[in-house]
Amino acid sequence: MNIFKSLKRNKVAMVGFGILFLLVIIAIFGPYLYDGSPWKMVQRPFLPPFQDSKFPLGTDTLGRDVLAGLIHGARISLLVGLISTAIALLIGIPLGAYAGYYGGWVDEVLMRFTEIFQTVPSFALAVVLVAIFEPTVYSITGAIAIVSWPPVARLVRGEFLSLRSQEYVLAAKLNGQTNRNIILKEILPNSLSPIIVLASLMVASAILLESSLSFLGLGDPEIMSWGYMIGAAKTVLRQAWWLSFIPGVAIAVTVLSLNLLGEGLNEALNPKLSGNREN
């Protein structure tokens, strides 16, 4: 409850939360409330925005409704960001926890394994992975998850290294609790604050990465997403700038809202930052 109270006091974080909440509502209910198909040709191509009340955002290169694509694309873009982040957390948290808790050779092996993925830039590695497999929403989500988990592992490792010598952990060991219970019930709950903040920022990065892949032609051609809309319009930037601008604004607003929420969570979960803000 204290977290929610702190967020309510942070107006910037509440703005981010409100925008994100609205986007989630659009992603869930938008395709049902606005029944226009994003793939159906409904008007002449390159219809500018606000020229036809039936298609307020105009049409694309094939005469498809841009607003329908924007609404349907919200679901895919958010799902890619959320699912890839969830997978990255499922990989990074256990590896970082074991490395930080056990230390020694376990730490060395797991961290060297992590560094293998960090030697190649994330975007370049994602491009290679998607290019190797057929570009689908599944391969894109998997590629983003693979390049996203190393920072999670390093963050969790650092938290476990600092917490494993705390008195409550030593008391749990003296009580005969297993290492598994100590990791899951004693240390991990006390490490969640920075993980939650990082996860909110990772969703934003995943949405940007999906958009970048689609812009390069590595998006799923059968799934409507904001990244796909930008990628499909990249050859007509001069002729129809709005086709890239509109989904670009949607991505920018989503990323901004996630960053604002992440900043608010950081302040709410970090007592020192909250205290400084009040002073």
Sorting pLDDT into bands at 50, 70 and 90, what band is 271? low
State how far the Cα of 118 lies from the Cα of 220, in Å rounded to an integer: 26
Closest CA to 236 of 67, 62, 61: 61
DSSP 99-143: HHHH-HHHHHHHHHHHHHHHSS-HHHHHHHHHHHS---HHHHHHH
Residues 85 and 202 sit within 8 Å (Cβ to Cβ):
yes
Q: Region 32-46: what's the mean pLDDT?
A: 86
Domains detected in the chain: 2-40+62-278 (1.10.3720.10)
What pLDDT digit, counting tens, does each position of 138-182 carry? 999 999 999 999 999 999 999 999 998 888 898 988 888 899 999
Query: DSSP assignment, residue 223?
Result: S
State how far the Cα of 139 lies from the Cα of 84, in Å rounded to an integer: 10
pTM here is 0.89
Mean pLDDT of the chain: 88
What pLDDT digit, counting tens, does each position of 175-193 carry? 888 999 999 988 998 888 8
State how far the Cα of 28 lies from the Cα of 256, in Å rounded to an integer: 20
